[in-house]
Structure 1
């Protein structure tokens, strides 16, 4: 009886977690007025394909409602974004977003012009694009995609007049990325509470 109870409790926890993830995505889909589309085909992207972790963060919820990445220039998110970018993206896009197999991401030329918007770049990362840029929805959590996006925006080295993702305040304080820049582990911001 004791072993059966343990199995029942374990199964209940697993199913409860899965149900919570499904309900969270359904809530995001219902509250989001944004339609995410495949960069190449224009087909609507199904966010239900996303990994179950990283769907419920405050950042993801804000992004799904506004289409604006709340992590842009948030120093508590940039260090995490850099680490994810270096492990998941730099092999094709270069360590500084300068481009290698994939296009450069740190200048004012965008292979896909819609990537000047946060919704556009999210859609490209989530759903993939041409050549080797496959969909990343099974490799990166939604929250990780936002952190990578913030890092890519931070790597930007050209003029702010060509950077519509920056707020007016961010444009005023803009300084091009300098290689070797370091971020404190305890920088205040939205991602500090998420640190692992």
Structure 2
């Protein structure tokens, strides 16, 4: 009996240690704050799926969206944007009820950074822009952000979220485009699952 209890205690301790290790690994290195109130965002409220993808893990550590200009993520981002965001922001993010998102003017200047745009999407903003953590997974938010960034219609020098390499290759959005069904990249294989 003692041996079984000792084994259960050790197994419990190992399990608790693993849970703490997972929680620490998913703790953001950056403090994300609500766009309006400045309060620290609580990611415990996020939808359970799409929380621990490699893209989300990298983003939470760096504040840079790894899906920007990744063609395998753009098609998915477009689909999510059209169903979740275009009603207020327009089909090409030109603005409607909500502000335009495809130029260099930002209602909230922090949205020039991926960290700021993510915080606005996750925690909401003023008027009708409620928090989207109840509707979109963290991974879906990154895909939507990549699509919004892709729709940018001004000079790449004004796209502060692009890396130098991305800026050199960037072409301002000029209209509808076709993406292959499953191009290589970080989101490969996810198109069929959606």
Classify the TM-score, shorter chain: 0.7 to 0.9
Tell me how far 1:194 sits from its aligned partner. Answer: 3.1
1:183 to 165, 174, 179: 179
Please say if residues 156 and 170 of structure 2, whose CA atoms lie closer than 8 Å, have aligned partners that are also in contact. Answer: yes
Q: What's 1:118 paired with?
A: 114
Please say if residues 69 and 146 of structure 1, whose CA atoms lie closer than 8 Å, have aligned partners that are also in contact. Answer: yes
1:140 to 128, 136, 139: 136
Structure 2 CA distance for aligned equivalents of residues 162 and 25 of structure 1:
37
1:90 to 86, 92, 104: 86
Q: In the alignment, does 2:141 pair up with 1:151? A: no
Please say if residues 40 and 130 of structure 1, whose CA atoms lie closer than 8 Å, have aligned partners that are also in contact. Answer: yes
Instruction: Name the TM-score, length of structure 2 as normaliser.
Output: 0.86
Structure 2 CA distance for aligned equivalents of residues 143 and 109 of structure 1:
25
Please say if residues 21 and 55 of structure 1, whose CA atoms lie closer than 8 Å, have aligned partners that are also in contact. Answer: no
Equivalenced residue count is 176
Structure 2 CA distance for aligned equivalents of residues 67 and 21 of structure 1:
24
Tell me how far 1:186 sits from its aligned partner. Answer: 1.6
Instruction: Name the TM-score, length of structure 1 as normaliser.
Output: 0.85
What are the Cα deviations for residues 115-156 of structure 1, in whole angstroms up to 9, with x where unaligned?
A: 000000000000000000000001000000000000000000
Tell me how far 1:26 sits from its aligned partner. Answer: 5.1
- Structure 1 stretches of 5 or more lacking a match? 1-19
Q: What's 1:49 paired with?
A: 45
- Structure 2 stretches of 5 or more lacking a match? 1-17
